[in-house]
């Protein structure tokens, strides 16, 4: 899989993806595919089973197989970043941020602790393993921070995109009284490896690829003819 990106931020962004013969890619937001070149049967949209719907936060995904080329569009204000995950990767991702991934990656569900689930409004994070390419959408350029086993990193709870499975997370605030009163809740994170953070959480954002839709809205968008056109 070969990917070329262009633009970003206020301009919007595009990603041109080339698949060679024998390669396949799963796109979790089919409406972000704005151009396709290849055999018509090379694109297969399919409904997920109930387990897949819950894990991936969607109803339909697209499987594109090579040889083919396609272009993904990212709205203004959002950024696309591709990661090459190693075989032994232990990063846990919020599926709201995953736009596409190579088919050879394996997905495993990881249940969150009650406090983590309450803050993130989700009970599951996904672990990708096996080595491959992952495309992430965020509300700003992603930043990687290296963890330390004893010296914690404090991260706004709305800005944490991915973290290693072995890390320790504790909900807290820090600083003096004025600082702790004015800040959002933070994750105190210790461990090894790196985390990914975005510069702004989703609080107050009205739309875009990271918005959390209601169950009824999702159903209508997928079931009704041209639902993605009429129901925004």
pLDDT confidence of residue 95: 85
> pLDDT at position 68, please?
97
CA 165 to CA 147: how far, in whole Å? Answer: 12
Q: Please report the pLDDT score of residue 114 as a whole number.
A: 75
Q: Which residues of the chain have pLDDT under 70?
A: 9, 54-55, 57, 118, 120, 201-232
Domains of the chain: 2-206 (3.60.160.10)
| The predicted structure's pLDDT at residue 54 | 66
Please count the residues of the chain.
Answer: 232
The per-residue pLDDT for 102 is 94
* 117-142 residue pLDDT tens: 767 677 788 899 888 999 999 988 89
pLDDT at residue number 164: 94
Residue 63: CB partners within 8 Å, gap ≥ 6? Answer: 24, 25, 26, 27, 43, 44, 45, 46, 103
pLDDT for 9 equals 66
- pLDDT on residue 209: 58
Q: What is the pLDDT of residue 70?
A: 97
pLDDT at 206: 42
The pLDDT, as a whole number, for residue 172 is 92
Calpha distance 76→94 (Å, rounded): 21
The rounded distance, in Å, linking the Cα atoms of 206 and 70 is: 28
């Amino acid at each position: 899989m070969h990917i070329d990106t262009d633009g970003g931020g206020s301009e919007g962004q595009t990603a041109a993806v080339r698949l060679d013969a024998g390669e396949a890619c799963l796109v979790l937001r089919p409406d972000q595919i704005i151009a396709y070149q290849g055999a018509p049967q090379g694109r297969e949209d399919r409904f997920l089973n109930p387990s897949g719907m819950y894990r991936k936060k969607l109803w339909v995904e697209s499987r594109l197989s090579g040889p083919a080329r396609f272009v993904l569009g990212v709205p203004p204000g959002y950024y696309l970043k591709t990661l090459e995950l190693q075989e032994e990767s232990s990063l846990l991702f919020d599926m709201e941020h995953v736009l596409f991934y190579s088919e050879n990656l394996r997905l495993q569900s990881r249940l969150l602790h009650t406090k983590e689930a309450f803050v993130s409004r989700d009970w599951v994070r996904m672990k990708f393993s096996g080595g491959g390419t992952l495309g992430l959408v965020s509300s700003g350029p992603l930043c990687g921070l290296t963890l330390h086993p004893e010296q914690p990193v404090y991260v706004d709870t709305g800005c944490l995109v991915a973290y290693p499975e072995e890390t320790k997370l504790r909900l807290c605030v820090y600083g003096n009284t004025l600082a702790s009163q004015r800040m959002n809740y933070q994750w105190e994170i210790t461990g090894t490896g790196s985390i990914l953070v975005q510069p702004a959480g989703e609080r107050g954002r009205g739309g875009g690829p990271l918005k959390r839709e209601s169950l009824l809205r999702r159903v209508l968008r997928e079931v009704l003819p041209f639902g993605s056109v009429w129901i925004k």
